Amino acid sequence: MKNIAHMLTNKLILSNYFPEKANTIHTNEVMLQKIMRNDILPLVVGLILLFMCATGHAVTMTFTDSSAYQAALPGSSSIVNFDNVTAGTKIPDGTASQGIIFTSNVDNIIGRSGLIVADNFLTTSPLNFLGVDDGFSNEFLLGDELTLRFKNLIRSIGLFIIGAPGSVAGNDFLLTAGGSTVFNDGTPEETLFDGGEVFFLGLINDQGFSTAQLISFGDQSNPTLGFNIDDISTVAMPEPAIFSLFSLGLLMLGGIKQFIQTR
């Protein structure tokens, strides 16, 4: 405010005592107003709008039914079914397999040594599934946790859990991603010929995420509560979310600037 008052005072003095300077002062003021109107103001408004877009709330849908999940998918899905990997292939903790980095807590129990692609039981897409290398049944156990990390943002994740007959109850499994969670139903979606019970968990999040976690609840030392995982489906973000928001901000900025210039 002091600077503005000082400028106005100087203008008054110069206009009264140095009339020949008045036109120069007026020209400079007009140029300053144009700069403020055409450059700074649109930039400020554009940044405000960009911030408003970036802080929008995510829209999330959760699923325990695979058909409903498939019908709601926001694009073409990629499926990791482990069938193009030889059964018996080990997946060391923290390494990538078919585009997903897997980490788990399965080594907490003696005799288990990480993840493995196996074919001991029937699964949702024969022959192979993801299990645990225990030298025997190659099953996960209730109490195991599995984290999946993706190189790029994805908008959805869905997976099948195949439990041993009668071993899975409602809320035994929790899938979490993008700040949202979903528990399994107590009724299997399907029962396979060998008695394996199939459950499904899925999430769709329009903001995107790069990490998902499957948590099972139970006693890891109980070998009768086994399960395996198969057919992990994902839908990639069409482009990084930040680039979309930045592009939207630029479009808004250009539109505002064009509007002002035509006034």
* pLDDT 10s digits, 23-49: 555 555 555 455 445 555 444 444 444
In a domain, 247, yes or no: no
In a domain, 147, yes or no: yes
Same domain, 83 and 26: no
**CATH number of the domain within which 94 lies:** 2.60.120
Burial readout 173-211 (b: 16 or more C-beta within 10 A, e: otherwise): bbbbbbeeebbbbeebbeebeeebbbbbbbbbbbebbee
Same domain, 172 and 123: yes
Q: What is the Cα–Cα distance from 80 to 102, expressed in whole angstroms?
A: 13
How many percent of the chain have pLDDT more than 70? 68
In a domain, 83, yes or no: yes
Tokens for 111?
A: 């005799």
Same domain, 69 and 30: no
Same domain, 43 and 97: no
The torsion angles phi and psi of 114, rounded to 5 degrees, stand at 90, -170
pTM of the model as a whole: 0.73
Position 109 scores a pLDDT of 87
Q: What is the pLDDT of residues 69-115, one digit of tens each?
A: 999 999 999 999 999 999 999 999 999 999 999 999 999 889 999 99
Position 53 scores a pLDDT of 47
Give the helix/strand (H/E) hosting 45. Answer: helix 41-54
Q: For residue 254, is pLDDT > 50?
A: yes
Same domain, 45 and 152: no
Same domain, 94 and 116: yes
Q: What is the Cα–Cα distance from 52 to 55, expressed in whole angstroms?
A: 5
Position 108 scores a pLDDT of 86
Same domain, 25 and 73: no
Position 165 scores a pLDDT of 95
Q: What is the Cα–Cα distance from 86 to 118, expressed in whole angstroms?
A: 8
Q: For residue 56, is pLDDT > 90?
A: no
Same domain, 130 and 161: yes
Same domain, 89 and 32: no
Position 39 scores a pLDDT of 53
Same domain, 207 and 129: yes
The DSSP code for 123 is -
Q: What is the Cα–Cα distance from 235 to 253, expressed in whole angstroms?
A: 31
The torsion angles phi and psi of 74, rounded to 5 degrees, stand at -85, 5
- What rounded mean pLDDT belongs to the chain? 82
Same domain, 100 and 221: yes
The structural domain count of the chain equals: 2
| Domain, as residue range, for 43 | 2-55
In a domain, 131, yes or no: yes
Tokens for 166?
A: 């009668």
Position 35 scores a pLDDT of 43
Q: What is the Cα–Cα distance from 132 to 147, expressed in whole angstroms?
A: 14
In a domain, 33, yes or no: yes
240 — pLDDT class (breaks 50, 70, 90): low
